């Protein structure tokens, strides 16, 4: 503002001086009429005309400057936008813009949209929200996502185990296809026959190509009682097929248990959410009270898409006496060990452990699997797990939105990284080469592989659970 005031002051002085000169010239000319010959009078008149013309030019420039200043001031647009991007004022931006980043293109696009887009008026908050989504999506990491307040609310309700929808966890496969990570126990999706690994080809006849997880969730969720049609692609099925699912209120306990006889307790963990630790503690108390002859435990994390790291550490600590249950490794090479966080009630050395996994077991489920396998000598039964070896942190904003950002990779106590997207073959002892010579990278390879067939599913048979019970019965 100081430079602008100085320019205005100089302009005013120039005008005043020009006016004074004109006045003096006019007065002198009047006096000259009586004292000087005709040719002197003509010179003075010419000088007066020139000064008057200069005055008119100055006034015109002042008017143009005022108009331009007003125009750009109203538009909120910096005159130096194209050459000096850092002169742009950004509200609530505390940090300096990096020297190597030129924000001029962003603001140019912003200005063009506001001036020329046919669908006016444009909500600037919608533009900002879209720009934020795009910036995060440019990282090409399906687990680093920006959620507006509505999307974040839905995500939190999923972890809390209560929302309205079909009851399925979504993700991406190796080819960036939208897939069902796992249908939740007792959910409308499970009842309709949706399976882990199904590719969602279309949602209500609209292609899912390029769709984000949050966009897909917004489309699929809806009021209880309303239908939604998904077009699925399934391995072993020749053509895509439609499944119509009636939405319902999804309210599912994250931990349940059963006495399977012969001193074997079966504990089902369907997610790692806000109430999981409390539900686990209650279940273990009931087991200890009702099963004094306890000799084996089956931990079932099939179709469990994960959740909170802290909950995975808590449940792992129920079985492991001491030491590390999982490690985090950051981009700068630093590591953080997560050790046993309390004295567990299932740490008896004579207690045999079986862990049930499948392709829908991901993230926190795999953390527990790794801890029980490598620190409790548990036996893994079922099918290879999903293979998500990264850790996200949630940055919550004041308006209810959130940024979930991948901050680290997690590795098992024995330093195995089971991520199927970024890990290499030598990063994990659980990788293998199949009969065709292809490297299978990511997830946990079961110690005892048992596949669940279409016939098993349709007839509600569970050979994986049956095998776990049989295995524990054989242990001394």
String of DSSP letters for 368-398? HHHHHHHHS--EEEES------EEEEEEE-T
- Angle at 254 (CA atoms; ends 414, 181), nearest 5 degrees: 65
Q: Is residue 199 classed as helix, strand or coil in its secondary structure? A: strand
Q: Write down the catalytic residue from 270, 363, 385, 390.
A: 363
Reading phi first (left if > 0) and then psi (alpha if -120 to 50, else beta), residue 203 is in: beta
Q: Alpha-carbon distance 55 to 25, whole Å?
A: 14
Annotation marks residue 363 as catalytic: yes
Chain mean position to CA 207: 21
Distances (CA, A) of 260 to 255, 351, 465, 468, 470: 16, 15, 10, 11, 11
Instruction: Please tell me whether the peptide bond between 153 and the residue prior to it is cis, using omega within 30 degrees of 0.
Output: no
- Which two tokens mark 223? 């009021």
Q: How far is CA 16 from CA 11, 26, 46, 58, 178, in A?
A: 9, 15, 20, 11, 73
With both helix axes pointing from N to C terminus, report the angle between 309-317 and 364-375 in degrees, rounded to the nearest 10. 30
Say whether 331 is catalytic. no
Whether 374 is catalytic is: yes
Give the whole-angstrom CA distance, residue 198 versus residue 179: 6
DSSP 307: B
Of the residues 164, 374, 385, 428, only one is catalytic, namely: 374
Q: Is the peptide bond before 138 cis (omega within 30 degrees of 0)?
A: no
Beta bridge partners of 326: 338
Rounded Cα–Cα distance for residues 359 and 171 (Å) = 12
**Catalytic, out of 260, 388, 409, 445:** 388
Annotated active-site positions, please?
363, 374, 388
């Amino acid at each position: 503002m100081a430079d602008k005031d100085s320019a205005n002051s100089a302009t005013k002085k120039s005008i005043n001086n020009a006016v004074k000169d004109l006045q003096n010239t006019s007065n002198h000319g009047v006096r000259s009429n009586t004292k000087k010959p005709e040719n002197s009078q003509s010179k003075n008149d010419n000088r007066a005309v020139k000064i008057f013309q200069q005055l008119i030019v100055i006034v015109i420039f002042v008017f143009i400057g005022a108009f331009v200043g007003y125009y750009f001031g109203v538009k909120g647009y910096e005159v130096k936008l194209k050459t000096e991007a850092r002169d742009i004022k950004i509200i609530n931006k505390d940090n300096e813009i990096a020297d190597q980043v030129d924000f001029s293109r962003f603001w140019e696009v912003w200005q063009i949209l506001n001036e020329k887009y046919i669908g006016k008026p444009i909500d600037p908050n919608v533009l900002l929200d879209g720009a934020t989504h795009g910036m995060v999506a440019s990282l090409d990491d399906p687990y680093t996502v920006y959620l507006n307040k509505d999307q974040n609310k839905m995500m939190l309700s999923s972890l809390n185990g209560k929302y309205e929808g079909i009851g399925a966890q979504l993700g991406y496969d190796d080819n960036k296809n939208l897939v069902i990570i796992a249908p939740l126990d007792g959910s409308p999706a499970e009842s309709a026959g949706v399976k882990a690994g199904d590719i969602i080809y279309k949602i209500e006849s609209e292609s899912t190509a390029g769709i984000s997880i949050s966009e897909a969730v917004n489309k699929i969720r809806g009021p209880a009682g309303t239908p939604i049609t998904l077009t699925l692609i399934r391995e072993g099925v020749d053509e895509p097929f439609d499944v119509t699912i009636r939405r319902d209120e999804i309210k599912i306990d994250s931990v349940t248990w059963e006495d399977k006889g012969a001193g074997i307790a079966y504990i089902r963990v369907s997610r790692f959410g806000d109430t999981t630790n409390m539900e686990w503690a209650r279940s273990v108390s009931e087991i200890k009270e009702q099963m004094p002859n306890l000799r084996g435990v089956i931990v079932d994390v099939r179709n469990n898409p994960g959740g909170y790291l802290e909950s995975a550490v808590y449940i792992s600590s129920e079985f492991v006496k001491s030491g590390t249950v999982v490690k985090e490794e950051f981009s700068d090479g630093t590591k953080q060990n997560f050790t046993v966080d309390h004295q567990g009630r299932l740490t008896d050395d004579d207690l045999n452990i079986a862990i049930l996994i499948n392709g829908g077991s991901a993230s926190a489920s795999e953390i527990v699997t790794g801890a029980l396998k490598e620190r409790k000598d548990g036996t893994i039964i079922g099918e290879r797990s999903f293979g998500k070896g990264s850790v996200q942190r949630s940055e919550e904003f004041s308006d209810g939105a959130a940024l979930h950002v991948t901050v680290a990779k997690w590795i098992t106590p024995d330093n195995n990284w089971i991520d199927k997207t970024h890990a290499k073959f030598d990063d994990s002892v659980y990788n293998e080469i199949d009969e065709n010579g292809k490297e299978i990278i990511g997830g946990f390879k079961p110690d005892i592989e048992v596949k669940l067939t279409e016939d098993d599913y349709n007839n509600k048979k569970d050979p994986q659970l049956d095998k776990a019970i049989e295995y524990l019965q054989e242990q001394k």
